[in-house]
Structure 1
Amino acid sequence: MGSGIGWANWAGCETAECEVVRPKGTEEIVEAVRRAAAAGQRIRPVGSSHSFSGIARPEEQQMRFDRHAGVRSIDTATGLVTVDAGMPLHRLNPILAGVGLAMTNLGDIDRQTVAGAVSTGTHGTGSRFGVIATQVRALELVTADGTVLNCSATQNPEVFEFARVGLGALGVISAVTIQAVPAFALRAEERPLPLAEVLNRFDEYADSIDHFEVYWFPHTDRVQTRYKTRLPIETELAPLGRFRRWFDHELLANDVFRVMVGAGRRVPAAVAPMNRVAVRVWGSSIYTDRSDQVFTTSRRVPFKEMEYAIPRAAMPEAVRRIQQAVDHSDWRIGFPVEIRVGAPDDIPLSMASGRETGFVSVHVPVWAGHGGYFGAVERIMTDYGGRPHWGKIHGLDAEALRRVYPLLGDFAALRDKLDPAGRFSNAYLDRVIGVAGATG
């Protein structure tokens, strides 16, 4: 069950040499945790490695879940679905569709495992819809001494409250129960608009559209908008044709974009004119398909990403400040800025905890330095009480994070109770939560 191997995250910006354990079933997870404890080693649960931060980086042992990725139960009457921690979203979605169910909301990438997406606060967009963790109804959690805790609103509720977005710090999630909904379709409309118009009418768009998102190419005054409207699954579907899907989602979104990124690396001055061409070429489209087919897209051009959540009311001003920062710099930003919205929730370490939220994501190619651009955007975000995405690059430490996550101290105290030796920790968690035992 164990072996040594090199590890890297999807972007390649975090790497490690570590021992790998690949348990199958909760009993083998318990055994692996107990062996790590007996050896005095840290063991880090790792999903699809799609986080850009060091949150998943293993230091001594990595627990991989490719053998622990099945469906435990599906109740089509209640919509409750229980899966192993390693179930990837891109496998779960068609399974749900096959029994007439769907996830309430999804992000635009489906490579993550269910446990990884929940633990890092992954989200989609929509002012009435929360992060993926709001769909969780129960968790099975293996703690540092090998105890198996069943956590829900009625069982170990004090653990469940925090473990829904638990950063992999409270224990190893071995199973997740989510609340699925009856399958539905989405009508997607994509069209370019002036950035100023979208920002001036931001609340109107956010409130009147089920799932609203914006892609702004820096060095231009145009955005690509995506409106997604929920419809009954019985609606006659009109998906993109094979050629149009290939043209939009593969040729333009991946192949041409890869060429643009490569050209920008060789000739930085070409980035701004290429961005202006891109917003004209992207164009408009309307199509209707099964919800998960519309929510998610293919991302084959690797990048590094930082994302912040701020109060939704501050979004137009914050984006204008980012635009000004780009315009007054010598940066050449070839990746679009992604703007989304989300509903408030009651999860302590969720980016949307307690407030209507706007999400801002910035990206650079994997080979590019990100310090100046990300740092400037981060300073703007902190002016609005910005909360960084746990799975994406940011520069905040526990002291700064406690100012925007009021219950982070309580989370650290619970972590110290469940894992006093920091068996599940790593350097990233030591930085953002504090070293295990420090609250004792």
Structure 2
Amino acid sequence: MKKKAPTAGTWVNWAGDESCTPGRALQPRSVDEVAAATKRATAEGRTVRVVGAGHSFNDQVCTDGLLLNLDRMSGLRHVDAEAGLVTVGAGTRLSDLNLQLARHGLALPNLGDIDRQSVAGAMSTGTHGTGRRLGNLATQIESLDLVLADGTRLTCTEAEDEILRAARVSLGALGVITSYTLRVVPAFALRAETRTMPLARTLEGLDDLVDGNDHFEFFLFPHTDAALVKLNNRTDEPIRPPRELAKAVAEFAENSVFDAACRAGRRFPSQISRLNRAVTRLMAPSSHVDQSHRVFASKRSVRFTEMEWAVPRAACAEVLREILRVIDRDRLDVGFPIEVRFVAGDELSHLSPAYGRETAYLAVHMYRGMPWERYFRSVQEIALAFDGRPHWGKRHLMTAEGLADRYPEWDRFQAVRSRLDPQGTFTNAHLRRVLGPVGGSVTC
């Protein structure tokens, strides 16, 4: 069935494949306005959801109730460089925060590979970068400010440790987060190296690559035997950014050329394996030194949908081999690479996908307009067999019944949720599906 074009009052996510028409949409400028709007919505029996940059790939923002956009509640509000702490508005885009921190000689210790999300959106979904000694972004949260359903304001600190552990990765299910205090580090430079390696050698030497670099990730292209590896390491070398021409050529290849290849693959699926091999032949080695936030984040203009699974680090290579085996066996037409990253175990957030273990994240993608469910369902089945947990901001096909026993602190999170939002003001169809009803029991 052909999708209807969005109307003027419709919210659409970045990928363009999730949308909703809220009953009311507001852009508050202050905590007072958030409190008043939330209190009114609760009294009227409306649900409340909050949107940032719309970079989640599922329907967790969608509502026919009140949709709050916190873009006007952004910016760096307080800096304590000596203590390594900053306070930032929840609606701040990561790209803006990086620039503001740099002016103070500070930086976030780790970032994902895009920086267009809002701080609240990235934190609340467990967004991560890569680096075996570093946790996901939410582990950097020292405290946060929360508006509850009745308009009450709550500052969550270590004094209210149980609430803070629930609120770091909360999917917006507890209230409206209006600001964060984050731990930051002195600004630092990274030496960024990119090169291709045979996939077999990459998987065989995975532990050495992960342990031997501050930040290691790689992309593997189905239907080929190549991996694109990225090795980013702290350095005191002078800044040596890529030349403008080389940068422009790289961005053109990563976006325009790749988009053209994806379009061709969508039209002629039987040619995807040939197109993937052609794309890998275009990948040239590179090396440069730049400020950390410029190295971590990449420009991404190709639109796609995504699923990502957190699996025990030790299972990474086996999971990847099984995914590639199923792609070949079932003749799945997969034009996008699989992205693989690594993080430290996390015991600061009840719903962290990396809770309690060193973790490998495996992200699979499908180009916009192409069928994704068969491929994603196959990947999900494989990940579940290896004790996988889904990234909360990406697509998955799980429900609360299947998720509860994968999170050791699931019941503790649900207890906080029932305490802070007993009426379910901050729920929607997505949260009812993945977290269950407020105060409801889940049979595992």
TM-score, normalised relative to structure 2: 0.96
Task: Answer yes or no: is the 8 Å Cα contact 1:416–1:439 preserved in 2.
Answer: no
For residue 420 of structure 2, what is the aligned residue in structure 1? Answer: 418
- Tell me which residue corresponds to 1:201: 205
What pairs up with 1:76-225 in 2 under 5 angstroms? 76-154=81-159, 156-225=160-229
Partner of 1:274: 275
How far, CA to CA, are the matches of 1:92 and 1:41 in structure 2?
A: 32
Moved over 6 A (4+): none
| Map of 1:333 onto structure 2 | 334
Give yes or no for contact 1:34–1:144 (8 Å, CA) kept in 2. yes
Aligned-partner Cα distance in 2 for 1:111–1:383: 33
> SS at the partner of 1:289?
strand
Deviation at 1:13, TM superposition (A): 1.7
* Letter paired with 1:373: Y
Counterpart CA distance in 1 for 2:173 and 2:225 is: 42
Query: How big is each residue's C-alpha offset from its partner over 1:158-214, in whole Å with a ceiling of 9 and x where there is no partner?
Result: 100110111100111010110010000010110000111111111111111110001
Letter in 2 for 1:313: A
For residues 203 and 163 of structure 2, the distance between their equivalents in structure 1, rounded to whole angstroms, comes to 40
Does structure 1 residue 367 correspond to structure 2 residue 369?
yes
Structure 2 contact 75–97 (Cα < 8 Å) conserved = no
Distance 1:158 1:270 in 2: 52
The question of whether the paired residues in 1 share the 8 Å contact of 2:350 and 2:412 is answered with: no
1:26 aligns with 2:26: no
Match of residue 309 from structure 1: 310
Tell me what 1:289 maps to. 290
Task: Give the CA deviation at 1:399.
Answer: 1.1
Letter in 1 for 2:197: L
CA distance in structure 2 between the partners assigned to 1:48 and 1:59 by the alignment: 19
1:12-55 CA-to-partner distances (Å, cap 9, x unmatched) read 22110112111111111101110101111001011111000112
Letter in 1 for 2:104: V
CA distance in 2, matches of 1:205, 1:242: 29
Aligned to 1:358: 360
Quote the Cα distance in structure 2 between the aligned partners of 1:59 and 1:353: 33
Cα displacement string for residues 401-432 of structure 1 (whole angstroms, at most 9, x for unaligned residues): 11211222221221111111110111110011
Q: TM-score, normalised by structure 1?
A: 0.97
Q: Tell me, which stretches of 5 or more residues in structure 1 are unaligned?
A: none
Contact 1:421/1:437 (8 A) holds in 2? no
What is the distance in 1 between the residues matched to 2:300 and 2:63? 25
Query: 2:344 corresponds to which residue?
Result: 343
Structure 1 counterpart of 2:233: 229
Q: Deviations over 1:352-389 (max 9, x none)?
A: 11000000000001201111100001000001110000
Q: What is the CA–CA distance in structure 1 between the aligned matches of 2:372 and 2:407, rounded to whole Å?
A: 25
CA distance in 1, matches of 2:382, 2:153: 42
3-state SS, counterpart of residue 5 of structure 1: coil
How many equivalent residue pairs? 433
Matching residue of 2:14: 10
Residue type at the aligned position of 2:91 = G
Quick one: distance in 2 between partners of 1:231 and 1:183? 11
Q: Are 1:74 and 2:76 an aligned pair?
A: no
> Could you say what the CA RMSD is over the residues aligned between the two structures, in angstroms?
1.2
- The correspondence of residues 30-41 of structure 1 with structure 2, limited to 5 A, is 30-41=35-46
Query: What amino acid sits opposite 1:120 in the alignment?
Result: T
Identity %: 44
- Show the counterpart of 2:5: none
User: CA-to-partner distance for each residue in 1:53-100, whole Å, 9 max, x for gaps?
Assistant: 112222311000111112210112112110111010010001101110
The residue that corresponds to 2:409 in the other structure is 407
Q: Which amino acid aligns with 1:158?
A: E
Query: CA offsets per residue over residues 113-135 of structure 1, 9 Å max, x none?
Result: 11111100000001111100011
Amino acid at match of 1:345: D
Deviation at 1:348, TM superposition (A): 1.4
